[in-house]
Amino acid sequence: MDREKKKIRSFEVAELAQISRSTVSRALAGDPRISEDTRERVLAAAAELGYQPNLIARGLKNQSTGIVGVVVTDLNNPYHAHALQLLIEKLGARRLAPLVFVGDTAEGAESAIERLMSYQVDAVIALAAPFSSQIVRACKAGRKPLVLMNRYDGDETVNVICGDSISAGAMVADHLVGQGARTFAYFAGEDSTTISLDRETGFVKRLNENGFALSARVSSRYSHAHALKVAPELLSSGAQAVFCANDTLAFALIDAVRQSPAAAVSPLIVGYDNSALASWPIYDLTSVDQNLEEMTSLTVETAHAIVIASDTPPKRHTIKPYLVERGSTRIQSA
Amino acid sequence: MDREKKKIRSFEVAELAQISRSTVSRALAGDPRISEDTRERVLAAAAELGYQPNLIARGLKNQSTGIVGVVVTDLNNPYHAHALQLLIEKLGARRLAPLVFVGDTAEGAESAIERLMSYQVDAVIALAAPFSSQIVRACKAGRKPLVLMNRYDGDETVNVICGDSISAGAMVADHLVGQGARTFAYFAGEDSTTISLDRETGFVKRLNENGFALSARVSSRYSHAHALKVAPELLSSGAQAVFCANDTLAFALIDAVRQSPAAAVSPLIVGYDNSALASWPIYDLTSVDQNLEEMTSLTVETAHAIVIASDTPPKRHTIKPYLVERGSTRIQSA
DNA sequence: TTGAAAGCGCTAACAC
DNA sequence: GTGTTAGCGCTTTCAA
């Protein structure tokens, strides 16, 4: 008999507690003006009936739904999937509910935002989205607060939580130089987001400061198959160290080395994202960890601040990434 | 000047079209009683003002929000992440919005369902969830239609869309026997969901029918590190072929073979899920593809049917998986 | 074919 | 400290 008969409305709780609906609402909201005695009666009644307020009705009344829109691009990328999981968990901890859409094209992103607006979300989080300019525009048009995670935009009015790609690039340069490399290459992705350009910029700049230069640069789509195809070109440059825009590219490069004829000595290789695979023994890849834990925490904190007070001024935060050193950059005793 | 001044309400559209709010609502809903003339005026006015109906208000009025709750367990598992992505896309195509929660513990799953109910979701989709009994119970208590994807439950009243694990196991047995293997092992995961037990059951049964038996069985948590640790035990059995409950386990097994001393000849290995990594050259793993494309389509179709007509009788669907043959089960010419 | 009015479930301003 | 009432934006009888 644990099947509750029907949906309970605040009216029923009020009836049982011999009190008005407003008092029920206030008691449950923790309004200090309610007497201890009535509060207890209300709480007891609510518990007995298993009352759960209808958040849709509350949202309509309050002009605040507690729903946060999340726009992602590609959950097949483990990095995005992991970020989404963390976001969902952290939003949940703050009693916010994520309405999730995939926006993997410019039009898709815009229509996702429109759908979100119809649902009166309190804020939008865009996760490493290309097309950030469309998203920014759509959110401004609809006056929806936006938090851009791991992407940034010239617009000063949106919130941005972003990894420090410049310093990541520099960190990688220092590490590779320290490991004794003297010639360097960059394996680029095909996207042209500021954030991915920054990785390269930071890398090259620090190389220069150390008296070195980039001797090769190849770019590839972010798919293992494609990267595997163009990797030989990169290898033929003979660079002693390669910084890859992404772990996927790095894995493909390692595979290419293994497939290459003769016992070619592998260059030192560094990836980006520190995905699970990087720690597996077959790859054992040195990689930049963007500290998603902190990045998602700050993102959710920012979104929450907006929900609480919609006039919260825009924030910009930068997260320091760190390098996880593994075998792929260990000097090979030949 | 493309910044729309404010949120437009149906009242404003009515005013501009010189008509009442009810007519606006009807025209936009495609009510056939509205004259062609007024309909056009309304549509034009709506377009001019950029009117988007407030779905929260509509939901309150209609007792149907168009929101579907989705409960997932682990987005770090690429198989779940991919499934979620497909679900989101297909829900979107039917104008349904997914409210996503992570329920990776029994309590987490229950509280996720409760949150979803507060938001008056029209249905709940649970994705490969352990704790399905808790989820079933919570949904029944709240009278929420539930679609269980890739998990099943004794309860006849919930919708189930499920891969045919029994026949998958049989298919794998046939394949391995056909490749000449004579001794067999099973690398099990630690979950005890019916669906994962079925894989093994189907496998063993078909082996028996072919006159063979299982000569070893080892189980592991679904993590690469843990699987790598217990894999040697499995290898020491000397089985000529191993069916793994999961691609992750299969990858770990392959890695274990590579790490093993001496030029041990690898057993034939089959995985489950056909994840992206399975097709990479280093692994080149034969794996069962559960046909997520079709499974998610059917899941969303079922959810949609419920949203349209909440009294839709429960459906049970079984999806035929297929085997993707790759190098890991090719006979090695020694 | 269209309009007026009521009401979905909730909260908060305003009484008392 | 608590009740009464109005109203969030929408749809939908009911009446014309």
Q: What is the pLDDT of residues B205-247, one digit of tens each?
A: 999 999 999 999 999 999 999 999 999 999 999 999 999 999 9
Type of residue found at A313: P
Q: Is A305 an 8 Å CB contact of chain B?
A: no
Question: What value does the mean pLDDT take over residues A225-234?
Answer: 95
* Neighbour-count burial of A79, counting CB atoms closer than 10 A to its CB (0-12 exposed, 13-18 middle, 19+ buried): buried
User: How far is it, in rounded angstroms, from Cα B146 to Cα B156?
Assistant: 11
Q: Calculate what percentage of chain A has a pLDDT beyond 70.
A: 97
Structure-block tokens of residue B79: 């198989």
Identify the burial level of B289 via C-beta atoms within 10 angstroms of its C-beta, where 0-12 means exposed, 13-18 middle and 19 or more buried. middle
Which nucleotide's C1' is closest to B64 (Cα)? C8
Give residue-wise pLDDT tens across range A109-153.
999 999 999 999 999 999 988 888 899 999 999 999 999 999 987
Put simply, the answer to whether A3 touches B140 (Cβ < 8 Å) is yes
* Mean pLDDT score, B74-79: 94
Q: Do residues B47 and B54 lie in contact, with contact meaning Cβ atoms separated by under 8 Å?
A: no
Rounded to the nearest 5°, which phi and psi values hold at A226?
Answer: -65, -40
- The strand pair at B67-72 and B97-102 is best described as parallel
Max CA separation in chain B (angstroms): 86
Residue A120 identity (one-letter amino acid): Q
B114 and A CB contact within 8 Å: yes
> Which of B74, B80, B102 to mutate to probe the A interface, most A CBs <10 Å?
B102
Residue B169 neighbours by CB under 8 Å, 6+ apart = B198, B199, B200, B201, B202, B203, B204, B205, B206, B243
**B285, two tokens:** 């793993």
Q: What is the DSSP letter of B314?
A: P
Residue A25 has pLDDT above 70, yes or no: yes
Using CA atoms, how far apart are residues A139 and A97, in angstroms rounded to an integer? 19
User: Taking Cα atoms as reference points, which of B100, B142, B157, B153 lies closest to residue B125?
Assistant: B100
pLDDT in tens, B152-205: 877 778 999 999 999 999 999 999 999 999 999 999 998 888 888 999 999 999
Q: How far apart are CA B51 and CA B17, in angstroms?
A: 12
How many Å apart are A104 CA and C1 C1'? Answer: 44
* Phi, psi of B2, deg, nearest 5: -85, 5
Prediction pTM value = 0.94
Residue A154 has pLDDT above 90, yes or no: no
Instruction: Please report which confidence band the pLDDT of residue A333 belongs to, taking 50, 70 and 90 as the band edges.
Output: low
**In this structure, are residues A119 and A67 in contact, taking their beta carbons and an 8 Å threshold?**
yes
* CA–CA distances in Å: residue B141 to residues A56, A73, B137, B145: 20, 35, 6, 11
CA distance A100 to A85: 11
Q: What is the largest CA-CA distance in chain A?
A: 86
Other Cβ atoms less than 10 A from the Cβ of A146: the count is 27
C-alpha B313/C-alpha B311 separation (Å) is 6
Strand C contact nucleotides, protein CB < 7 Å: 1-5, 7-13
Q: How many residues does this entry show for chain B?
A: 334
Q: What is the DSSP annotation of B59-113? A: HHHHT---EEEEEES-TTSHHHHHHHHHHHHHHHHTT-EEEEEE--SHHHHHHHH
Residue B144 to residue A51: CA distance in whole angstroms: 16
Measured from Cα to the C1' atom, the residue closest to C3 is B20
Give the model's pLDDT for residue A5: 58
Residue A330: the pLDDT is 92
Helix (H, G, I), strand (E, B) or coil at A315: coil
Inform me whether the C-beta atom of residue A182 falls under 8 Å from chain B C-beta atoms: no
- Measured between its terminal Cα atoms, the distance across chain B in Å is 73
- Whether B5 has a pLDDT exceeding 70, the answer reads no
**How confident is the model over B128-146, as a mean pLDDT?**
91
Domains of chain B (ranges; CATH) run 10-53 (1.10.260.40), 67-163+292-320 (3.40.50.2300), 165-290+323-329 (3.40.50.2300)
Please tell me the distance in Å from A206's CA to the nearest CA on chain B: 34
Q: Which residue has the tokens 């010189």?
A: B18
pLDDT (average), residues B86-95:
97
A98/B54 Cβ within 8 A: no
What are the pLDDT digits (tens) for A265-288?
A: 899 999 999 999 999 999 999 999
Reading the block at residue A168, the tokens are: 């990541």
User: Would you state the structure tokens that stand for residue A104, as one six-digit string?
Assistant: 């993997």
Q: How do residues A171-182 score in pLDDT, each as one tens digit?
A: 999 999 999 999
- Helix residue spans in chain A (DSSP H): 10-17, 21-29, 36-49, 55-62, 78-93, 106-118, 132-141, 165-178, 194-209, 224-235, 247-259, 292-308
Phi and psi angles of residue B118, each rounded to the nearest 5 degrees, phi first: -60, -30
Give how far B286 is from chain A: nearest CA, Å: 18
Task: Tell me whether strands A67-72 and A123-127 are parallel, antiparallel or unpaired.
Answer: parallel
Whether residue B141 contacts residue B116, with contact meaning beta carbons closer than 8 Å, is answered with no
Backbone angles phi, psi at A69, to 5 degrees: -80, 140
Instruction: Sort strands A322-324 and A286-289 into parallel, antiparallel or unpaired.
Output: antiparallel
CB B256 within 8 A of CB B283: no
